[in-house]
């Protein structure tokens, strides 16, 4: 695993591994013990241009390649990930503080999404449409957009980079990927190495490790890419969307969330407790779909609270290399300070800490807070860390109002003994995805993924991925809501 941090600490441009030519380095640290893992000299505006020009040049031949031949590259990439799974899991633990469970979860999903890309290579279909003129017909062809720019986040870097990169390549496009500065290897150059070893033509996929302090908006503004896929905060996403609109580019934005997990009066309380703990604390709560808020019907609130608090207290926080650790470090000191500040602000506003975790360096222990004032802005914002707000409610009407009282709309879930009651509840929530009798953190390769309101634009996964690659003449992206239903346990 350590060889990854030496061999892959470079830029990958036009099929070559090379140092950046910027005047400073991105330093890659282990967030748990602050060990320096790698130093990568940043890419410059000139190297952004080189990467995009290379992708545009090679993409034309790649688009003409038989899709069955393209598919073979992804089959080999999948085998390489399976062969190197242990090393990749160790890298995830070291670079982003992922626990053993988190690394396994991310790798499982990454393989599933890569399998879907194997199929998506053969998915584009044309159409023949009638004409009002006799003897004529209209033919609609779905063609690659050309080059896609991908900007990926730090929390699930391997998965979320692959989730945009692999389908774009499978559909005949070129890609330039800019991973987050905190995870340049797992989210960037590791993916380049896997596809290089799998036989992807050099220059088709390029990886740039850099920062806006060096390149400004050059990555988005460059004339080559027609689509920008961004996953990250709504603040940055708003800027990306503005720049894309100014240059007539299509933006696919997967942004933040403020999910609520709702426990109705007829829910299986024990099962709801397990779902809530996972939904809030997986990867230290650094997940856009995480349940910031747990809403519980007052009739079962005492039972749920007692069991939920006991479960949270049992979560072991510490070294992510320990297989027993459930809560590892957050990504950096700024994030640790922000999460700790959220807890202190809530307490200053009058909240009660049922569990009050301490913060040591980047290790933030879980906190469970209740009694947050109804008008607190904390209830409407995203909290990217192991803090949860426990909120009682009286009846479904109040629950619906509370769930919708946020500028975000990415995910959520409801627990009930009646599936149809849960589906009816889900339909009243203004969100891109909602789960019945499940957690809030869930993603499947063929099911539309995306948010409403400040949680993003567009959808990824399965057939909806094709909508980011319009047919000649264009097509609107449909508004989709995903409702996943898990049968009632019994």
pLDDT digits (tens, 9 = 90+) for 355-407: 999 999 999 999 999 999 999 999 999 999 999 999 999 999 999 999 999 99
Could you tell me if 93 and 218 lie in one domain?
Answer: yes
Residues of the chain with pLDDT under 50: 471-480, 490
| Residue 341: predicted pLDDT | 97
Could you tell me if 212 and 120 lie in one domain?
Answer: yes
328 lies in some domain: yes
Could you tell me if 12 and 92 lie in one domain?
Answer: yes
Closest by Cα among 21, 65, 58 to 175: 58
Q: Are strands 413-415 and 433-436 parallel, antiparallel or unpaired?
A: parallel
| Residue 488: predicted pLDDT | 58
Catalytic, 244? Answer: no
Give Cβ neighbours of residue 384 (< 8 Å, ≥ 6 apart). 155, 256, 285, 286, 290, 330, 335, 338, 339
DSSP classification of residue 378: G
Could you tell me if 243 and 263 lie in one domain?
Answer: no
Could you tell me if 245 and 297 lie in one domain?
Answer: no
Which residues form the domain of 301?
259-445
Helix (H, G, I), strand (E, B) or coil at 80: helix
484 lies in some domain: no
Catalytic, 463? Answer: no
Could you tell me if 241 and 271 lie in one domain?
Answer: no
| Residue 468: predicted pLDDT | 61
Could you tell me if 11 and 116 lie in one domain?
Answer: yes
Q: What is the CATH number of the domain that holds 44?
A: 3.40.605.10
- Choose, from 47, 106, 196, 288, the residue flagged as catalytic: 288
474 lies in some domain: no
Could you tell me if 243 and 365 lie in one domain?
Answer: no
- Choose, from 47, 106, 214, 254, the residue flagged as catalytic: 254
Picking from 233, 254, 275, the residue at the C-terminal end of a domain is 254
Tell me if 260 sits within 8 A of 403, measured CB to CB: yes
Could you tell me if 298 and 405 lie in one domain?
Answer: yes
Could you tell me if 80 and 43 lie in one domain?
Answer: yes
Domain count across the chain: 2
Picking from 254, 286, 314, the residue at the C-terminal end of a domain is 254
| Residue 305: predicted pLDDT | 98
Could you tell me if 380 and 411 lie in one domain?
Answer: yes
166 lies in some domain: yes
Residue 345 burial (CB count, 10 A): 14
Q: Are strands 352-355 and 367-370 parallel, antiparallel or unpaired?
A: antiparallel
237 lies in some domain: yes
Tell me if 175 sits within 8 A of 205, measured CB to CB: yes
Tell me if 300 sits within 8 A of 263, measured CB to CB: yes
Q: What is the largest CA-CA distance in the chain?
A: 76
Q: How many residues does the chain have?
A: 490
Tell me the C-alpha distance between 452 and 468, whole Å.
17
| Residue 117: predicted pLDDT | 92
Based on the number of CB atoms within 10 Å of its own CB, is 67 exposed (0-12), middle (13-18) or buried (19 or more)? middle
Q: What is the CATH number of the domain that holds 335?
A: 3.40.309.10
420 lies in some domain: yes
pLDDT digits (tens, 9 = 90+) for 447-463: 899 999 999 999 998 87
| Residue 474: predicted pLDDT | 36
Closest by Cα among 283, 38, 320 to 160: 283
Picking from 445, 463, 480, the residue at the C-terminal end of a domain is 445
What H or E segment, with its residue span, contains residue 26?
Answer: strand 25-29
456 lies in some domain: no
Residue 425, token pair as written in the block? 């509840």
Could you tell me if 250 and 199 lie in one domain?
Answer: yes
69 lies in some domain: yes
């Amino acid at each position: 695993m350590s060889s990854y941090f030496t061999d892959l600490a470079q830029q990958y441009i036009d099929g070559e591994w090379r140092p950046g030519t910027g005047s400073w380095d991105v330093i890659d640290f282990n967030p748990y013990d602050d060990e320096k893992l790698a130093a990568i000299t940043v890419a410059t505006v000139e190297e952004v241009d080189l990467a995009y020009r290379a992708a545009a040049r090679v993409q034309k031949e790649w688009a003409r390649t038989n899709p069955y031949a393209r598919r073979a590259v992804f089959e080999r990439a999948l085998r390489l990930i399976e062969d190197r799974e242990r090393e990749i899991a160790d890298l995830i633990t070291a670079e982003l503080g992922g626990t053993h469970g988190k690394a396994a979860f991310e790798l499982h999903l990454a393989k599933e999404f890569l399998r879907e890309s194997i199929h998506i290579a053969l998915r584009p279909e044309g159409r023949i449409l009638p004409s009002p003129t006799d003897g004529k017909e209209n033919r609609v062809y779905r063609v690659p957009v050309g080059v896609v720019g991908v900007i990926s986040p730090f929390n699930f870097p391997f998965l979320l980079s692959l989730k945009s990169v692999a389908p774009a390549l499978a559909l005949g496009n070129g890609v330039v990927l800019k991973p987050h500065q905190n995870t340049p290897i797992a989210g960037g150059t590791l993916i380049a190495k896997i596809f290089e070893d799998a036989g992807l033509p050099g220059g088709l996929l390029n990886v740039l490790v850099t920062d806006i302090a060096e390149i400004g908006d050059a990555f988005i503004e460059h004339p080559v890419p027609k689509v920008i896929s961004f996953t990250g905060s709504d603040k940055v996403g708003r800027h990306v969307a503005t720049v894309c609109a100014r240059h007539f580019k299509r933006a696919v934005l997967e942004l933040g969330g403020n999910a609520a997990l709702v426990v109705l009066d007829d829910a299986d309380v024990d099962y709801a407790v397990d779902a809530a703990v996972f939904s809030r604390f997986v990867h230290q709560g650094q997940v856009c779909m995480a349940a910031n808020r747990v809403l519980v019907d007052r009739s079962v609130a005492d039972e749920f609270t007692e069991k939920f608090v006991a479960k949270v207290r049992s979560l072991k926080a510490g070294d992510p290399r320990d297989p027993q650790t459930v809560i590892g470090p957050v990504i950096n000191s700024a994030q640790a300070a922000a999460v700790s500040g959220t807890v202190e602000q809530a307490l200053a506003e009058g909240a009660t800490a049922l569990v009050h975790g301490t913060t040591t360096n980047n290790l933030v222990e879980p906190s469970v807070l209740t009694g947050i004032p109804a008008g607190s802005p904390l209830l409407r914002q995203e909290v990217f860390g192991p803090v949860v707000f426990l909120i009682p409610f009286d009846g479904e009407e109040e629950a619906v109002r509370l769930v919708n009282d946020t500028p975000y709309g990415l995910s959520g879930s409801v627990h009930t003994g009646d599936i149809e009651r849960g589906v009816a509840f889900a339909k009243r929530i203004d969100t891109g995805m909602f789960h019945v009798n499940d957690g809030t953190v869930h993603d499947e390769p063929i099911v539309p993924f995306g948010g409403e309101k400040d949680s993003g634009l567009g959808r990824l996964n399965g057939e909806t991925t094709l909508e980011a690659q319009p047919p000649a003449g264009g097509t609107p992206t449909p508004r989709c809501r995903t409702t996943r239903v898990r049968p009632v346990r019994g």
